[in-house]
Amino acid sequence: MTPPDTSAPLLQISGLTKRFGGFTALDNVSVDIRPGERFGLIGPNGSGKTTLINCISGAFRTEARTVVFRGEDITQLPAHVRTRRGIARSFQIPRPFKSMTVVENLMVALDFAVATDPLVSAAHRHDTAMSILAGMGLASKADASATTLSQVELRKMELARAMATRPKLLISDEAMAGLSSSEVDEVLDLLMSLADQDITVIMIEHIMQAVMRFSQRVMCLDAGKIIAIGAPNEVMANQRVQEAYLGT
């Protein structure tokens, strides 16, 4: 089930601690993510999941060498440079560029995140954006304003925008929150198909059936600490995980 251990990790988190004043949001977290892995991240509210991905994507700065991506220390890099290196994310609450159309939202990524070749014309980039949208089933909404989208369409657009940056690592922060069960399946299938395109995916999710179906490995955080990591079944069976979720 899990990919072989021989390949070098894509992302190495080592001894990562993040404090806000006196509150420790992440406490000495260490984990390696392998290339091509589908990684599930779970934990109760406030356990530090979003803080962790903010540290990875660059919204928060951390100490040197705590976040290493493709063998390089990225802790000193601003978020936009990390995006260009191949780390893309979606947001827990969708953050579209509201004054733009759907396709323009993707054009931002194509204009800025992808190393621009002057020979690649704007028309060509527009085609690229359209083909990504088609892959997400959003082609018909390309020229609609981002404000007119439904919740599931917004989630898909965020994933499409993240995909337009040509990521090697995609972090999906609760992309299924607030969706109906058929919509959850839709988004889950999309994420699965991305993982098939050699993109490593970290998925934060509360919907357990989605986590179980998606992940090759699952990590559970509680109060900023890793309480369990391993195959999905093992983690779910872990007593501390059950306590963290259900209370004792």
Partner 1 sequence: MKRNGIFFWVGAAVFLIAIALMTKLITNEYPFFAGYVILQFIVLAVAWSILGGHAGYVNFGTSAFFGMGVYTAVFLFKVAGAPLLVQIAAAAAVGALMGFALGLLTLRMQGIFFSIATIALTIVIETSITNWRYVGGAAGIQLQRPPVTWPFSGYVQMLFFVQAVLVVLAVVVSRYIQNSWIGRGLQALRDDELAAECTGVPTLRLKVLACVVSGALMCAAGAPAAMYLQYADPSSAFNLNYSVSTLAMSLIGGTAHWAGPIVGAILLGTTQQLLTVTISSEVNVLVLGVMLVLFVVAAPEGLIGLLRRIRRHRREGKQ
Residues making contact with partner 1 (CB under 8 A): 57-59, 78-81, 83-84, 88-89, 91, 95-100, 104, 107-109, 111-114, 161-162, 165
Between 9 and 96, whose beta carbon lies closer to partner 1? 96
Provide the minimum distance between the beta carbon of 246 and partner 1 in the complex, in angstroms, as a whole number.
33
Q: What span, in angstroms and rounded, lies between the C-alpha atoms of 148 and 143?
A: 11
Provide the minimum distance between the beta carbon of 65 and partner 1 in the complex, in angstroms, as a whole number.
22
Q: What span, in angstroms and rounded, lies between the C-alpha atoms of 168 and 98?
A: 26
Tokens for 185, please give them. 């399946």
What CA–CA distances, in Å, run from 58 to 6, 82, 228?
28, 7, 25
Q: What span, in angstroms and rounded, lies between the C-alpha atoms of 29 and 12?
A: 10
Length of the chain as a residue count: 248
Between 170 and 218, whose beta carbon lies closer to partner 1? 170
Q: Mention every residue, 6+ apart, whose C-beta is less than 8 A from residue 245.
A: 44
Q: What span, in angstroms and rounded, lies between the C-alpha atoms of 97 and 74?
A: 26
Between 54 and 215, whose beta carbon lies closer to partner 1? 54
Provide the minimum distance between the beta carbon of 99 and partner 1 in the complex, in angstroms, as a whole number.
5
Between 24 and 92, whose beta carbon lies closer to partner 1? 92
The DSSP code sequence of 33-88 is E-TT-EEEEE-STTSSHHHHHHHHHTSS---TTSEEETTEE-TTS-HHHHHHHTEE
Provide the minimum distance between the beta carbon of 56 and partner 1 in the complex, in angstroms, as a whole number.
11
Provide the minimum distance between the beta carbon of 91 and partner 1 in the complex, in angstroms, as a whole number.
7
Provide the minimum distance between the beta carbon of 28 and partner 1 in the complex, in angstroms, as a whole number.
26
Between 85 and 225, whose beta carbon lies closer to partner 1? 85
Between 83 and 215, whose beta carbon lies closer to partner 1? 83
Say what the alpha-carbon torsion angle 178, 183, 187, 190 is, to the nearest 10 degrees: -170
